[in-house]
Structure 1
């Protein structure tokens, strides 16, 4: 039997947890109210996991801080100037933010005041499905009528879409990202039109903010469709500075059930933007990727190139030794995606290779420089060259040569 909205919310584990109830009890005194808002409500109604919980309240930040501490809870002024206090209860952080309303709007620097009007607080949020509140008893409060949109998985801006975007141009990317994570059907035409009209506003955003949002978008279930629409609107080129292989990426995401790596942003960016190696550096810079993310992209691109250039498919052991297990799998998935997009898919062979790559133990070269010195070779550049030559012979033997075989071969070195 399908639960009613209030019943479903009231039965949510996160709402009945002693920690959040302690936060409610601390704040809700002397006429002050508190309600969970946004993602936790939306995700519960749509049967998605709830990683974090945000609370809105009529109480001032100073009141929240004082009452939480009086109740024995840890309170941190993480964004007190913006009205946000992080309250930790049972080792779980709750972001508690005082209701706000805009007085003047000029981009992200909008001047706000704290208030007590739930509808005004809702109207300054981005999408209708994010303007849902629930009290401590599980009763839903829907000041803008966003419940229908949420249950229908429609992502719609609150009020005038162009105006919402001008307040913060990151909302263009959030429109596509929220859709990719929770949406169904076609993108809202009004919102899509506003994103197209306001697209040049993305140029004003920092690379860090764009990169953070793009990573989250690439992990979402409907990322392929959202990115195709972004590309059609010219948004991908603005965000990344280059072109996109959308067909290849759609093919990659068609493999989600076979390999969870397909949702990883690093692999997705290689498939989307890795036409030549230099593209990886450009995208990494534009999205402010970490050194670890850059390295994975470089490794995946190299493995993809190796598989494409080989006369015969390299063995799982050879690929794992050259690129690591993850790099080998990434390269294989990138090649497979291109073949699917080109209508030349050989699924049986690729599935066999994917299984082999995933279970492959990385071979370990059995010889060290000290072994060669012990057998009579002198230290120096020649020793390093000999060691490298023996390693290549070991690889060519498909890792069959033993330490003893290699030492014997070293004796014939000129």
Structure 2
């Protein structure tokens, strides 16, 4: 993309002309202060990606941002005011407005920061060159570090010395791979990759929450398989996840992206990557501090995949859906498909035919409840559960075809 085309794309960005963001600019840019959108919104616009959130950098001090936006009728929230960040809600959309900063001293993740008015110094404290791009309210691009070419060429390069930047915050190791997986092209920057390998032990000092958050985002990215392959070969995956990885299976899973959006879900990806045995999933869930809902989905997917792997023939879709639910059945099928993708093509074809049936077929629902039996005169108690189980077995053996009335008729004759 030519620079002129890039500049025009920014000037035409719909989000930049929204009344909400222009109101923020008008409120903040007073008394000689300026404001510019920075980072992801600029990068994504240039690369044709969606813009989910918008960060604004400004020379105005945070207390002034609070005061000016409130006076303009906007809603300022001091979400990170000690670090210079104010969230301003305008037009129903939250904008993070942060005062220009420069690092004076760094202590691992912590840094002593002072507010400033120098746009280049602010850019120098950011992580990658493609993220150090700014655009003003009129769509004019400001590129203090020459990051535009890297952005347009999809090169992910650290600002300054990579080893130094990683020692400031070791989470940048995972960000390097995540940003590449989302926006990169070709080979990874050798200087950045070399630094990540040298500094990899720094991952041991990060909290599980921070690692888990970054890994979830990485697994959703288009080039996740390529990034994880390099991570694994560099010894980074084992440190981050605390175990080995089935990279080939995960690569096979992501080849199914066009067939199934579930392949981009972190829960399914982790089952394929790390689910050698059931205990591996517990370890990964603990390691990444996954939620109970994420853990449950992974365990169901693993159980469904195990059932498919052990079956001599593919189960009936209705029975598979009933046992594992639609999400679990789809996850299990995709997991097994990726694990067997290099094997018998006839089996892969069978799995491919099963996928649309699982996606659109009805999930059977057992039509009888305990209250139905009690209404017929069955006494409450443990025996009630046994009777329900017998009826459920009868219903399943019928291929889920027996109706509620037919099942209850079998019980009614006993009273």
The alignment's TM-score, normalised by the length of structure 2, stands at 0.96
Q: Deviations over 1:247-295 (max 9, x none)?
A: 1111111000101111000000111111111111111110010111011
The equivalent residue for 1:61 is 62
Cα distance change on mapping 1:342 and 1:165 into 2, 3 Å: farther
The unaligned stretches of length 5 or more in structure 1 are none
How far apart in 1 are the matches of 2:375 and 2:159?
A: 75
Give secondary structure in 1 for the equivalent of 2:107. coil
Q: Is residue 249–residue 271 contact of structure 1 (8 Å, CA) maintained in 2? A: yes
How far apart in 1 are the matches of 2:342 and 2:62?
A: 53
The equivalent residue for 1:50 is 51
Cα distance change on mapping 1:365 and 1:174 into 2, 3 Å: same
Q: Deviations over 1:36-55 (max 9, x none)?
A: 10000000000000001101
Give secondary structure in 2 for the equivalent of 1:76. strand
The equivalent residue for 1:234 is 235
The equivalent residue for 1:275 is 276
How far apart in 2 are the matches of 1:346 and 1:145?
A: 52
Q: Is residue 255–residue 262 contact of structure 1 (8 Å, CA) maintained in 2? A: yes
How far apart in 1 are the matches of 2:346 and 2:339?
A: 9
The equivalent residue for 2:164 is 163
Give matches, 1:12-411, under 5 Å: 12-342=13-343, 344=345, 346-410=347-411
How far apart in 2 are the matches of 1:235 and 1:341?
A: 26
Q: Is residue 28–residue 68 contact of structure 2 (8 Å, CA) maintained in 1? A: yes
How far apart in 2 are the matches of 1:5 and 1:368?
A: 63
How far apart in 2 are the matches of 1:62 and 1:208?
A: 31
Q: Deviations over 1:381-406 (max 9, x none)?
A: 12211211221232122112333443
Once the two structures are overlaid, the 10-residue window that deviates more, 344-353 or 8-17, is 344-353
Cα offset for 1:67? 1.1
Q: Is residue 22–residue 89 contact of structure 1 (8 Å, CA) maintained in 2? A: yes
How far apart in 2 are the matches of 1:87 and 1:403?
A: 56
Once the two structures are overlaid, the 10-residue window that deviates more, 372-381 or 6-15, is 372-381
How far apart in 1 are the matches of 2:344 and 2:91?
A: 53
Alignment RMSD: 1.7
Cα offset for 1:376? 4.3
Cα offset for 1:345? 6.3
Q: Is residue 129–residue 149 contact of structure 1 (8 Å, CA) maintained in 2? A: yes
Cα offset for 1:298? 0.8
Q: Is residue 247–residue 341 contact of structure 1 (8 Å, CA) maintained in 2? A: no
Q: Deviations over 1:190-243 (max 9, x none)?
A: 111101100111111111111110000000000000011111111111111111
Cα offset for 1:377? 3.3
Cα offset for 1:319? 1.1
Once the two structures are overlaid, the 10-residue window that deviates more, 206-215 or 397-406, is 397-406
Cα distance change on mapping 1:178 and 1:343 into 2, 3 Å: farther
Aligned length: 414
Q: Deviations over 1:136-179 (max 9, x none)?
A: 11111111110010000000000100000011000000000000
Cα offset for 1:411? 7.1
Give secondary structure in 1 for the equivalent of 2:97. strand
Once the two structures are overlaid, the 10-residue window that deviates more, 170-179 or 390-399, is 390-399
Once the two structures are overlaid, the 10-residue window that deviates more, 137-146 or 310-319, is 310-319
How far apart in 1 are the matches of 2:413 and 2:238?
A: 57
Cα offset for 1:316? 1.3
The equivalent residue for 1:11 is 12
Q: Deviations over 1:120-139 (max 9, x none)?
A: 11111000000001111111
Q: Is residue 243–residue 273 contact of structure 1 (8 Å, CA) maintained in 2? A: yes
Cα offset for 1:72? 1.4
Q: Deviations over 1:63-100 (max 9, x none)?
A: 11111112111111110100001111101111011111
Q: Is residue 340–residue 348 contact of structure 2 (8 Å, CA) maintained in 1? A: no
How far apart in 1 are the matches of 2:359 and 2:372?
A: 32
Q: Is residue 248–residue 341 contact of structure 1 (8 Å, CA) maintained in 2? A: no
The unaligned stretches of length 5 or more in structure 2 are none
